[in-house]
Structure 1
Amino acid sequence: AAIRDVGRVKDIPLTDVDRIAKMIPAIPGKPITIPEALETVPALKEACDESPYLRELVDTAAKLEGVVRNAGTHAAGVIITDKLITDYVPLHRPTGGNLEENPIGSVTQFEMQILDDQGLLKVDFLGLSTLTVMARACKLIQERHGVDLDINSIPVDDPETFELLGRGDVLGVFQVEGVGMRRYLMDMKPRELANVIAMVALYRPGPMEFIPTYINRMHGNEKVSYPHPTLAKIFEETYGIPVYQEQIMFAAMELAGYSASEADSLRKAISKKKAKALGRHREKFILGAVEKGVEKATAVAVFDDWENFARYGFNKAHAADYGVIAVQTAYLKAHYALEYMTALLSVFKQDTDRVAIYVADCRRMAIDVLPPDINTSELDFAAQVNADGQAAIRFGLGAIKNVGHGPVQAILDARNEGGEFISLEDFARRTDLRMVGKRALESLIRVGALDHLASRIAMLEALDRIIAISSGYFRASEVGQLSFFGEATGVSDSLDIPKTLSNVPRRRLLAWEKELLGIYVSDHPLSPYLEELTKIVTHFSAELEETQQDQIVRVAGEITQIRPYQTRGGKAMGFVTLEDLQGQIELVIFTRVWKDAVRRLELDSIVVAEGKIDRDRGTPKILVDKISEEFKAFEARPMPVAQARPVRQDPDQNPPIERADQQPGNLAPSIDQPLQAAVQDEKPPLPIADAADEKPPLPRAGVADEIPAAFSETFEFSGYPARSNEPVTHSRLLAEVSDEIPVVSISTVNIGDDHTESEPKIITLMLDATGDRTRDALRMRRVHGLLNSYPGTDRFAFLLFEASHRYLLEFPSSSTGYCAELHAQLVELVGEHRIRIETLRYQ
C-alpha cells in the first residue's frame, strides 16, 4: 500500500509501481518490510540501483510503512456485548460513502486486536451469493419434483457427488471451480467430506506445498508418520499433516496437559506471531510434555514445527463451513443440474463472462439454453419444457444488457394481466413503452425477444413510431380520452409495419446476441461450417479434457481474442482464444508459426488449428504447429489418438510461465483468462519481472539515449508521424535545434541561486519519444509541474523528437523562476545535456 500511494502522488507510471509492489513478497502470517525486501529480493534491489526514481519511490514508501493510512471498517465483524457497548468501547461514525444510505450507524474506535484483548465477542457475518443460488435451486426442485431440500437437509455423503468432484465437473460449484483447485480434486478423487474440507484449508499460499503429500498419503502412495504416538489420533484425519488450528489446540492438551483456554491462548500466540507469548508457551509446553513422559528433544521439535505452522494454519470451523457448502452445491449439480444451473445463471445474470461459461457448461451437459422471448421469458433465467417435451433453460430478460428491472417488470405486468402478446400492435397497446424506454426496447429487438411479432430490421426501422403509438395510447388513457383510440368509437390507430426488402445479415444478428447477451444463443458462427469441420477436427473444446499430454489434436473455432507477446529474447509470439459450440480453446503460438500467421489472424474469423496438448498448467492448451482459415489446408483424415513427443525447449520460444519462487511482472497475457475473468479463484501466472518489463528504462542523469519524452491529452500536438527508416542521432538533432526557435537570441546564461534575474530566460527541454504515450504523459506532467512550482518570469518550452520529426511545444500562459535548485532537479529528470538555457530577447 505504501508503494502504491507514493507512486500515485509522484505520478510514477502505474506499470512501474505495480511491478515494484509485486516484487515485495506477501506471505500470510509472515509479513516482510520494505527494507527486508531490499535485502532479500535481488530483482527489487537491481531495479532501485538502475533507476533513481524507483529508488526514491521505495525509500519514501519505507518511511511511510507502518503509519496508519486510514480508518477502515471491518467487512463483516460485529461486536456483541451484554451491556451498552459504550460501557466498553468508544464509538464513531462510519468513514467514507454516503452516511445517510449507510446501514451501519456506528463503528468502534478500537481496532480488532484491542477488542480481542478486552475479551469482547466478535462475530463475522459473511454474505454468500452461493446461499441464494442454493435457495433458488431448492425452490425449483420442490416445484418441479416435489422434493423438499434446504441447506440443512442436502446430503454431504452422496457417492455421486464425490464422483462429480473427482472428475473435475466443478463449474458453478462453490469454492472449487478454479483451474488449480479442479486439477487437485481430479488428482485427489475425494471420497468423503473431510477430504474436501482439507482441500479448502490447504488450497492457499503456503500450505499448497502439502497438497501432493496429502493426496499421496490418502491413496497409500506415501507412508504416514507422526512426531509422537499421542498425536496419531489428532492428525489421523489429515494423514499426519497439521492443517487446522484446532489440531494444535487438541495436541497441546494431550501432549502437554494444557487446558482448553490455555490451548486457545497458544493458538492465538502462534497465529499472531506474538513473540513474548510464544516464549512463555514454549517453556510451559516443553515442561508439561516432559512431565507427561515425552522426551524433551521431541517436545522442542514439535513446538518448533508449530511455530512454522503459523503461516499456513487454518481455522477448521471456517474450512468446514465452506467445505460443506461445496459438497452441497456439487450434490445439487449432480442430481438436479437443470434447476441448479437455472438458479446459478439467475444469480449471476449481470456477469456476462460467467453467464457465457455456465451456458457452455449447460450445453456440455445436454441442457438447452433458449433465447429470450417476451412471451415466455421471466426476469431471471427460468426452467421450461420445450415443444418436444425436453426440459430447457429460458434466457432471462434481466440478463440482456441495457434492459433493467423496470422495463422488464412493465412487460411482465402487461403479460400477466392480458396473456401472451399476439402482435406488435397488441404489445404496444398493452405495454407502456414509456416505462420500457427506447434503448431497452431496441436491445430486446436486437436479441430476438420480439421475433414472433415482426422482423428485427422492420421493428428497428419503426422503433420511434412504435414508442409514439404506445405513449399516445397510455397518455389518452390517463386523461380519459381512450375512446378516441377505439374503445367506444371503433376508431383505432393501427400499427402497420412496412415490409422491408432487406434482411439483417445472419452474422450481424449473431453479433447483436454476442454484444447484448455475452453469448450466441439462437445459432453459432460455426454452424454453417459444422459438417465440413467435423470431417477435419479431432476434438471440440469439451473433449479436450480427455486428452493426454503432448497428444496431437486439431480444433476449430471463432477467434474471440488475440494477445501478442514478446519473449525475453525479443521474439514475437502470441496467445489466441477460440470459441466453438461447446466452449473456449486456448492456443499458444510460438515464434515460428506466429510470424506467418499474425498477418492473417483477425477477430471473429474462423480458423482451424493443429498442435499438441499442454496440460502442465491446468486447463488443456494447444501448442500450435499449424493454423489457417483455409479448411482445405487440412486433410480430412483422423489425427493420431496419442503421439507423445518431446516439447522443444527453446528458451526464447517458451511462453513466460512463472514458477512458485519467481516474482510476477506486469505484461503477461493470461492463458486462463476466460475462466479466471469469471471465477477469480486463482490468479493466472505472470512472467518474472525482468522478462515482463520490456519498456525502456526511465532516464539516468546525462544519458540522453534513455530519455523518454512525454505526450498527453493535456499537452496535445499534431501527433506521431510515421516512423522513418533513417536512423536519427541525437547529435544531429541537437545541431538543428536553433532553427526551431526564431523568437530568441541565444547567449550564455549563468544560473543564479535565487529566482529573480535581470533578464528573463527561456528554458528549452529536449525530450525523445518512447512510443508509450501513457508513460510519456506522466513524465511530461512531472516536468511541467516542477517548472510551474518555481514562480518567476522565465519562460519554458518542450522540444519533442519522434523519428526524424521535431515538435516545439510552447506554454505562453505558464512561467517559472529558474534557479540552481530547479536546475538540479531537472538534470536528475532529463539529463544535463538535454536542457538549453537562453536569454529571452523579444524582437
Structure 2
Amino acid sequence: MMSRFVHLHAHSHYSLLSALPKVDELVKAAKDAGMPALALTDNGNLYGAIEFYKAAKKAGVKPIIGVDFYVAARSRKDMQAGIDNRRSRLVLLAMNDAGYRNLVQLVTKSHLEGFYYKPRIDRELIGQHSEGLICIQPSFSGEIAQSLKSRNQDKAKEVAAFYKKTFGDRLYIEITRHPEIDGHEASMKALAEFAGSQDIPIIAAHDVYYLKPEDRMARETLVRVNSHTDQSDRLSDGEEDDFSFIGPERAEQLFTDPAFGTPLPEALANAEAVAGLCDLELKLGNWVFPDFKVESGLSPSDELRRLVYEGFARRNMEQRKETIERAEYELGIINKKGYAPYFLVVADMLRFARENGILSNIRGSVSGSMVTYLSGITNINPLEYEIPFERFLNPDRPSAPDIDMDYADDRRDEMIDYVRRKYGADKVAQIGTFGTMAARGSVRDVARAMGFPFEAGDRIAKLIPMGSQGFPMTIDRAIDESPELKAMYDTEADAKRIIDMAKKIEGCARHIGVHAAGVVVAPTALTDFTPLQFDPKGEGKIITQYDMYSIEEAGLLKFDFLGLKNLTIIGDAVARIEKIDGVKVEVDAIPVDDKTTFEMLARGETADLFQLNGDGMTRFLKDLKPSSIHDINAMVALYRPGPIQFIPEYIERKHNPSLTKYLDPALEHILNKTYGVLVYQDDLLIMAHDLAGYTWIEVDKFRKAVGKKIPAEMAEQKEKFIKGCITHSKWSEKKAKELWKWIEPFAAYGFNKAHSVSYGRVAYITAYLKAHFPAIYLSAVLTSEQGETEKVAETIAECKRMEIPVLPPDVNESFSQFTVVKIAEEEAARDELSDRAQAREKQAPDQQGRTPVGEGGLPRTRSSYRIRFGLVTIKNFGQGVSTAIIDERKKNGKYKSLADFLERVQDRNLNKKSLESLIKSGALDCFGEERGAMMANIDLLLDYNKESAKNHADQDSLFGAMAGHSSVPTLRLKPSPAAEMREKLNWEKELLGLYVSGHPLEKYREIITKKDMDIKKAKETGKDGSSVIFAAIVNEVRTVTTKKNEIMAFITLSDFSGSAEAVVFPKTYREYKNALMADKCLAVKATINTRNGEKGFAVERVKEL
C-alpha cells in the first residue's frame, strides 16, 4: 500500500540556526522515501522557496511552498515588553499562485510592520491574505494548542471560530506523535477531541529539523550557537524527542499503531489530501525590466540605436565601416533578445552619474561591447583593445546581461537614491545574501556550544587554510591539505569531536545580510516578485529575501552598484587639483600614453596606486618598464596566483621581440599585443572559436569547464579541441596536441580581458595623478585611509620619500580632513637649494633601490606643497568643534595668538578633553607656545575661554555695550617645564595614530635604511622559515598562559614603514621579558611564519637600542 504520509511541516537551514537540512537534502530524502510531495515551511521567511521549488521539480517531487509563521499575541503593531514578546505559530501552505502571492505579502508585512524579536503577522493580515492558502494550527505552539494547554477552552473556541470563518474547509489542526515527551500524547488526544468538537479536520505531521535521528545533537548544537549557550544549559520543552525526517513506514506506525496512542488514520489521509490540493506552478526565468519611459516616443530598440549613433559625436569617433558593423551586429543581438530596455536603464544611471560628478567604472565583460561604449555606459573601446562581445552576450544562448557598475564609494548611496526616486521606492531594493557557517567559523562556534574553552576551537580553526574566490575552503578539504590538522584530527579525541560536529553544521545559513553590490528594479511592486524585509543590521534598508540566484529566477535582473574606494580617491584628487592648482582634469580624457606616468612606474614608484602597488608587482614593473596601457592591463591580469609564473616570459619578450614566436600564424592576431604570451581567458575562447570551430554556446561550455578544473570535463574538452583544430583549421594532430599542451596549464587561471582593461584603466588614472600631482593625490589617499593607522603610516612614508612634508594638524591651516598647503615660492627655493647641497654629499637609495632623483641624476624638485593632518583626524576631537574652528577662521582670518584663538572659538565642545587633544597633537604649535607649558596651564586656558565667552555675552548686552571695554585679563602662562621629545611623540601616537614630528627610531634611521632593516621589507621579501633582522618600537604586549602554565606573549611592533604582530614563545619571553615592554626600541631577530598566506614573526632574540 502506498504511503498516505507527506511531510507538510519541514524546515531547512534557511530557518536560520534552527534546522540543519539543506534544501537539496530535504528533497532527496522525500524522493528516496517515495513521497509524492514535500512542503517547505521555514520559520517566518521564504528564503529557500525558489531554490526548493526548482530542486523538487527536478527530482519529480511536488513542491509545496509554505511558511511557519509567528503570530502576534495582540496586534502586530503592539510591541510592549513582557506581553508582545509572546507569540504563537501558524503554518500556511500555498495551494496556487494566489496563495503564493499572499505568502509573499504576509512574510513581507511580518518583517516590515510586525517585527518585534520575530517577524509577526496578526489576525488583520491573516484575514486580508487568506485566499489560496491551507491553514494548519501547529500541535506544539499553535494558538489553539496553547489555549488548551492553559486550560482555556473558551479562548480555544474563539480562535477556532476566527480561523474557520477565515479559511473554511481549508483549516486543519496538526497532530504529531512524540512518545518520548512527557504528556505529549495526552495533549494530542485533547487536541484531536477539540478538533472533532469544532468540526475541524486533523492532519498528521512531524516537524522536521534534521534528516536522521543521529543528527539530533548537531541540531541541538546549532540551536546553542544561535542562543549563545553551551551544553550546561537545558533546551526548551519539545526538544527532547526525535524531529528527524521520518519515512512513510514510521509515519504509518506512529499514527495507526495503538502502542503510540489512539489510532488516527484520518490524519494521514488528510496529509495526502492537502498535498493533492496544493498545485502551485511558478513561472520562472522570464525576465522583466524596469518601466523605462522613452521621452522621444521611440521604441526601446530604436532609442538605443539613437543613443549609439549619437555616441559617435560624443566620443569624437568617425563612423568607420568596422565600427558601424560591430555596433549593428551587437544591436541585432541585443534587440533580438529584447534587452534594449535594460541597456537604456543602465545608460540613464551612468548619465546621472556623469552629470552629478559621480565617478564610475564599468568592469567585467560588458567592456567588450561597442554599444555600451557609444551609449555612454562604458569607457573602453572594444575594438581598440580587441575584446570580444560574445563573452558578454552569447548570441547562441539566452544569457542575461550583467553589468557591474563601480561608483565612488562615498557616493554610491546617491546612485541608489536616484534609482528609487526615478522608479519608485516600492520597486527598488538591495538584494539579500546569506552568510553561512564557513569552515573556520563552524569549528569555533561548535567548540563553544559544546562547552570547550575558546582556545580549543581557535587552535583548530587556525589550522584550516583560507579558501579562494570561487573555491571556498571546507573542513574535509582542509584535513586533506593540512598535515597538522589531520594529525590533530587523528590523535586528539576532543579535536575529532569538535571537527566531526562542525562538519554537520558547515554550510548552514547563519544570517541574511545585504549583498555588496546587487540592486533590483522592478516594473511593478517588488512584492510581485519577491518577499522583502529590513536589513537585520537595523539601518532601515529594505532588502529582498531572495538571493541573487532566486531573484533572477523570479524574473528580475540585478544591477550591481559597487562602491570602489579608489574612485573616491580619484574624484577627491581631481576636485582638489582644480581648487588648489586651478587645473581641471577630465578623467575620461586623460591621455593613456603619458611618458611621465610610465617613467614613474618604471622607477617602481607604485605606492598607493590601484592594482599596481606591493613589493612583488613593483619589482615586475621595474623590470618590465611599461610603455603602453596594454602593459598595464597585462600586469593586472597576470599578477595573480597561477599566471604570475608567465610574467618573466612576458617581460623578456617585450625587451627582445625576436623571442616572440607563434606555433601557427593564425595565433598572431590573437596574441600579438601580449608578445605571444597567453594572458587573458578571452585568448583561449577565441582560439576555441576561430581555430577549433566551436560555436559560441560551445565556447561558453569550454569556459566553464576550464574554470572549474574538473578532470573529466577537461579530458572531454581536450578531445573536442584537438579534433576541432584538425577539422576546422586543417592542422596536423601533432600541432593541435602541441597547442593544447601549451594552453592547458594556463586554462584555469585565465583572467577576463575586459575586467583587466577596466581595472587597468583605473590603475593608470591613479598613476597619472600621482605622477603629475603627487602631493594632492597622496592627500586624497590619506583622507580615504583615515582611521587605518598602518595604511596612513605607509602613505606618509611614501610622502617623505618623495620629499613632501607631512605636518601635524594646525588650527590655522588644517581643515577637517588631510589638507594640501602650498608654500611660498621663495621658501620652496631655499629648501631646494639646501636639499641639493645635501644631495651632493650623499644620495642614499631607499629600501627598494630607488633614489630621490629626477632626469639627469639631479635631486627631485622639492615639493612646493605640504600635507597637513585634518582636525577630525585627531582622536577625541569631533566634527562639531572642528567645524566651529574652521568657520571662524574663514570668517575673520587666521588666529593671531593662543589668546585670540581662545577668545574667538566659542563652542561648547571646546572642553578640557578637546583642548588637550589640540595641544598634544601639535595643532596649537603655530602660536609659539610649548606643548608641555600649555598642558600644565590647561585649566587656565579653559578659564580664559570661558571668561571670553562671558565677556562676549556682556558686550552683546545693553550695559556691556555702554561699558565699552573688555574685562578679560591678559593671557599669561605660568612657567612650566617643556615636554620632552619622546613625550610629544607619544602624544602624537596616541592622538594621530602615528609619530609625525619625528620617530623614536629617528637616530637609527640611516642605518635602518642602509641595511633594509624595516618591517615592511622583512614581510615582503622574507621567505617562510627564514630569519630576518629589523629595528622596531614595541607598541603593545599581550601575555597569555599556556597549558603548561608558562607565559608567552603576542606583541605589536612598528617602525617607519608600518607595523606587525609577533609571537614570543615561553623560552624567549623568559629571557627577554624586561626588554619586551611598551615604548621600548629594539633590534629584533625573528623567524618568518606564513600561515594562510599571511606573514608574521616569531621572535628569536631582541636587543634594546
- TM bucket (normalised to shorter chain) is 0.5 to 0.7
Any residues of structure 2 matched to 1:546-565 within 5 Å, and which?
Answer: 559-560=1033-1034
Residue among 357, 377, 395 paired with 2:869? 395
1:98 to 495, 520, 538: 538
Measured in 2, the distance between the counterparts of 1:135 and 1:160 equals 21
| Deviates most, 586-595 or 219-228 | 586-595
Please give the alpha-carbon distance, in whole angstroms, between the structure 2 residues aligned to 1:449 and 1:28. 45
Q: How big is the shift at 1:139? A: 2.8
What is the CA–CA distance in structure 2 between the aligned matches of 1:193 and 1:116, rounded to whole Å? 36
Matches within 5 A, 1:597-612: 604-605=1079-1080
- Does structure 1 retain, via aligned residues, the 8 Å contact 2:933–2:979? no
Q: How far did residue 434 of structure 1 move? A: 0.7
Q: Distance in 1 between matches of 2:725 and 2:555?
A: 28
Question: Cα offset for 1:245?
Answer: 2.9
Q: Deviations over 1:614-667 (max 9, x none)?
A: xxxxxxxxx96xxxxxxxxxxxxxxxxxxxxxxxxxxxxx82454xxxxx27xx
Q: Distance in 1 between matches of 2:664 and 2:978?
A: 79
- Tell me by how many angstroms 1:563 deviates: 8.8
Question: Which residue in 2 is equivalent to 1:359?
Answer: 796
Match of 2:508 in 1: 67
Looking at structure 2, the residues matched to 28 and 225 of structure 1 have their Cα atoms a distance apart, in angstroms, of 34
Structure 1: how far apart are the matches of 2:769 and 2:495?
52
Name the aligned partner's letter for residue 996 of structure 2. Answer: V
Deviates more, 1:27-36 or 1:318-327: 27-36
Q: Partners of 1:248 and 1:229 in 2: how far apart?
A: 16
One-letter identity of the residue aligned with 1:257: G
- Any idea what the Cα deviations from partners look like across 1:770-827, whole Å, max 9, x if unmatched? xxxxxxxxxxxxxxxxxxxxxxxxxxxxxxxxxxxxxxxxxxxxxxxxxxxxxxxxxx
2:686 equivalent among 250, 256, 259: 250
Which amino acid counterpart does residue 377 of structure 1 have in structure 2?
S
Aligned twin of 1:521: 996
Query: Which amino acid in structure 2 is aligned with residue 509 of structure 1?
Result: K
Match of 2:899 among 416, 420, 425: 425
Deviation at 1:122, TM superposition (A): 3.6
1:209 is aligned to 2:645: yes
Aligned equivalent of 1:442: 916
Aligned to 1:149: 585
Write the distance in 1 (CA, Å) between the matches of 2:624 and 2:1065.
33
Which letter does structure 1 place at the counterpart of 2:673? Answer: E
Q: CA deviation at 1:77?
A: 2.2
In the TM superposition, 1:337-486 aligns within 5 A as 337-386=774-823, 388-390=826-828, 391=864, 392-453=866-927, 454-468=929-943, 470-471=945-946, 474=949, 482=957
Quick one: distance in 1 between partners of 2:512 and 2:537?
13
Letter in 1 for 2:629: L
Report deviation, 1:598: 7.5
Among candidates 43, 52, 75, match of residue 484 of structure 2: 43
SS in 2 for 1:380: coil
Give the secondary structure class of the aligned counterpart of 1:106: strand
Give distance in 2, aligned partners of 1:556 and 1:249.
48
Compute the displacement of 1:97 (Å): 0.7
> Does residue 193 of structure 1 match 2:667?
no
Deviation of residue 315 (structure 1)? 1.9
Deviation at 1:298, TM superposition (A): 6.0
CA, structure 1 residues 43+592, in 2 after alignment: closer, same or farther (shift >3 Å)? closer
The farther-off stretch of 455-464 and 421-430 is 455-464
The answer to which of 29-38 and 279-288 deviates more is 279-288
Q: How does 1:21-36 map to 2 (within 5 A)?
A: 21=461, 22-24=463-465, 26-30=467-471, 33-36=474-477
Equivalent residues of 1:574, 1:594 under 8 A apart:
no
Where in structure 1 are there 5+ consecutive unaligned residues?
610-622, 625-653, 659-663, 666-682, 693-843
CA shift, 1:130, in A, is 1.7
Q: Find the aligned partners of 1:80 and 1:306 in 2 and give their Cα distance.
A: 41
C-alpha change, 1:85 and 1:57, in structure 2 (3 Å) is: farther
- Distance in 2 separating the partners of 1:301 and 1:19: 48
1:99 and 1:283 mapped to 2: Cα distance?
54
Q: Distance in 2 between matches of 1:47 and 1:269?
A: 36
Q: Is the 2:604–2:618 contact (alpha carbons within 8 Å) kept by the matching residues of 1? A: yes
Q: Distance in 1 between matches of 2:596 and 2:453?
A: 52
TM-score normalised according to structure 2 size: 0.48
Q: What is the RMSD computed on CA atoms of the aligned residues?
A: 4.8
- Say how many residue pairs are matched: 607
Shift of 1:94: 4.4
Given that residues 530 and 554 in structure 2 are in contact (C-alpha distance below 8 angstroms), is that contact kept between their aligned partners in structure 1? no
Cα drift, residue 417 of structure 1 = 1.7
In structure 2, distance between residues paired with 1:208 and 1:535: 34
The equivalent of 2:308 in structure 1 is: none
Q: Percent identity between the aligned chains?
A: 36
1:714-729 matches, within 5 Å, as: none
* Cα 1:477–1:310 shift into 2, 3 Å: farther
- CA drift at 1:410: 0.9
CA deviation string 1:819-842 (max 9, x = no partner): xxxxxxxxxxxxxxxxxxxxxxxx
Pair 1:594–1:361, CA change in 2 (3 A): farther
Q: Please state how far the C-alpha of 1:362 moved relative to its aligned partner.
A: 1.4
The correspondence of residues 611-690 of structure 1 with structure 2, limited to 5 A, is: 655-658=1087-1090, 664=1091, 684-685=1094-1095
How far 1:117 sits from its partner (Å)?
A: 6.8
State the match for 2:21 in structure 1.
none
Provide the C-alpha distance between the structure 1 equivalents of 2:655 and 2:992, rounded to a whole number of angstroms: 45
Secondary structure (helix, strand or coil) at the match of 2:867 reads strand
5+ residue gaps in structure 2?
1-437, 829-863, 1023-1027, 1041-1045, 1100-1105
* Aligned-partner residue type, residue 502 of structure 2: A
Shift of 1:320: 1.7
Q: SS in structure 1 opposite 2:997?
A: coil
Matched, 1:490 2:965: yes
Deviates more, 1:5-14 or 1:474-483: 474-483
The separation in 2 between residues aligned to 1:310 and 1:655, in whole angstroms, is 36
Q: Write the distance in 2 (CA, Å) between the matches of 1:573 and 1:206.
A: 37
Given the alignment, which residue of 584, 589, 602 partners 1:166? Answer: 602
Distance 2:487 2:454 in 1: 19
Matched position secondary structure for 1:389: helix
Which of structures 1 and 2 has the larger relative contact order (alpha carbons within 8 angstroms, sep 6+)?
1
Q: In the alignment, residue 655 of structure 1 is paired with which amino acid?
A: T
1:134 aligns with 2:570: yes
Quickly say closer, same or farther: Cα 1:13–1:161, change in 2 above 3 A: farther
| Counterpart in the other structure of 1:510 | 985
Matches within 5 A, 1:763-778: none
Structure 2 match to 1:781: none
CA distance in structure 1 between the partners assigned to 2:1016 and 2:963 by the alignment: 66
Deviations 1:465-500 (Å, cap 9, x if unpaired)? 544554565578679964666675424233634422
The aligned amino acid for 2:1087 is: P
Q: What is the CA–CA distance in structure 1 between the aligned matches of 2:467 and 2:1007, rounded to whole Å?
A: 51
- Larger helix share, 1 or 2: 2
User: Residues 573 and 179 of structure 1: is their aligned pair in 2 closer, same or farther, counting only changes over 3 Å?
Assistant: farther
Partner of 1:329: 766
Shift of 1:61: 2.2
Change over 3 Å in CA distance of 1:535–1:264 after alignment to 2: closer
- Give, in angstroms, the shift of residue 99 of structure 1: 4.4
Q: 1:376 to 1:334 in 2, by over 3 A?
A: same
Residue 818 of structure 1 corresponds to none
Q: Give the whole-Å Cα distance in 1 for the aligned partners of 2:981 and 2:547.
A: 63
Name the CA distance, whole Å, in 2 between partners of 1:31 and 1:9.
19
1:313-343 Cα shifts (integer Å, max 9, x gaps): 3222222222222122112222221221222
1:683-713 deviation line (CA, Å, top 9, x unaligned): 53359xxx99xxxxxxxxxxxxxxxxxxxxx
AA aligned opposite 1:150: E
Aligned equivalents of 2:493, 2:657: Cα separation in 1: 53
1:195 deviation in Å?
A: 2.1
Indicate yes or no: 2:529 matched with 1:54. no
Greater shift after overlay, 224-233 or 333-342? 224-233
**Compared CA separation, residues 295 and 458, structure 1 to 2 (3 A):** same
